[in-house]
Amino acid sequence: MMPRMPLKSRSNEGLFALALCLLAGAACADEPVQWLARMNQALTSRNYDGTFSHWHGGQVEMLRIIHRVQDGTVSERLASLDGSGREFIRTGANLACYLPDRRTVLVEQRPRQEPLVGFPSVDQETAHFYDIREVARTRFNRRDTHVISVTPKDEYRYGYRLWIDDRTAMPLKSQLCDARGKVIEQIVFASLTLARSIPDSAFRPEVSTEGFQWVRNLSLPVPDAEALAWNALRLPPGFRMTMRAAQTLPGSTQPVDHLVFTDGVASVSVFVEMRQGASPSAPVNSTANVGSSSAFSTVIDGHKVTAVGEVPPETVQFIATQVKAQQGPAAPVGARGR
């Protein structure tokens, strides 16, 4: 994820830029970017309770998202209203995943600024790789909205179309689009309520966890200074590493290395684990597509490397095949690829 400015600072800058546009009496070239900034500020700073449909891979799922900021702590709950009945509850950096179909609760740490439902966050550097425009102003769900398009300038990322509420700056509809403009994933809010306060009871799971297995991934071993440090030798333009950590995955007997690469809008997770018990005839490379997500696995220096992300298949393959191990201290996180 991109580093975020303090909310008050972001708010003041956004309002100042919009005021200059109004005083100029003409359309401001940066106004679409400012609408994205206002949207992300609203998503991170407001209390809200919404129900939305999530369409991907030819399937539709109804979900409910509850978000609260209280005393500087962010709490979120994302619950499936049909199908799997899964729930995800985040308090600060602590995330609990309730998986009834697996009779498992997975508890882990994740970056505090990473939301359960992601929308594009664009800054000045990100804007070099996307064409950002306001393509329409229209009524949607009985509200005035700004329709903002975020179109990639190359083949390494997908684009977005967003319907942003004029009054609250909340996203009412979001579409993920491929290079031809075809919609491959869509989120549409059926209801969205902004609340002054939300009780603690709203962040308790409805699913009964009796008999469930609890898997906790809260404290991980500190990597040995002489251990292998995995990194990507080359990255698609604009991508850089923003996270490196050890993580325990269900079914793994030991922590795997988890790397995250992002351009600020699109992100790719890479998992590196020892290849154990594999048949010599087993395929070295494999690809998969699930809805809007692409995955690519390969074997490098006796390790299985898997890259996953909401990006074109060529992007995850590019990144996975560039991951290499180096002996000694890890390179600093945040360096840009070329």
In this structure, is residue 1 part of a structural domain? Answer: no
Backbone dihedral angles phi then psi of residue 319, each to the nearest 5 degrees: -70, -45
What is the pTM for the complete model shown?
Answer: 0.80
DSSP one-letter code for 129: G
**Which of the residue ranges 24-28, 96-100, 111-115, 288-292 has the most confident prediction, judged by mean pLDDT?**
96-100
CATH number, domain containing residue 102: 2.50.20.10
pLDDT of residue 83: 74
Domain containing residue 314: 220-327
Written as one letter, the residue type at 174 is S
Strands 104-109 and 213-217, sheet pairing? parallel
In this structure, is residue 115 part of a structural domain? Answer: yes
Task: Give yes or no: residues 151 and 246 share one domain.
Answer: no
The span from the CA of 93 to the CA of 90, in Å, is: 7
* Joined tokens for residue 250: 């269900």
For residue 12, what is the enclosing H or E element? helix 7-24
The span from the CA of 212 to the CA of 223, in Å, is: 31
Burial class (CB in 10 A: 0-12, 13-18, 19+), 277: exposed
Backbone dihedral angles phi then psi of residue 8, each to the nearest 5 degrees: -65, -40
pLDDT of residue 4: 35
* pLDDT tens digits along 141-150: 999 999 999 9
In this structure, is residue 211 part of a structural domain? Answer: no
CATH number, domain containing residue 318: 3.30.200.100
**Domain-terminating residue out of 169, 203, 237:** 203
* pLDDT tens digits along 33-80: 999 999 999 999 999 999 999 998 888 999 999 999 999 999 999 999
In this structure, is residue 34 part of a structural domain? Answer: yes
Count of positions (residues) in the chain: 338
In 195-276, DSSP assigns E strands to 213-217, 228-232, 240-247, 256-262, 267-274
Task: Give yes or no: residues 199 and 229 share one domain.
Answer: no
The span from the CA of 302 to the CA of 69, in Å, is: 45
**Domain-terminating residue out of 153, 169, 203:** 203
* Joined tokens for residue 153: 């300038």
**How far separated are the first and last CA of the chain, in Å rounded?**
19
For residue 307, what is the enclosing H or E element? strand 303-309
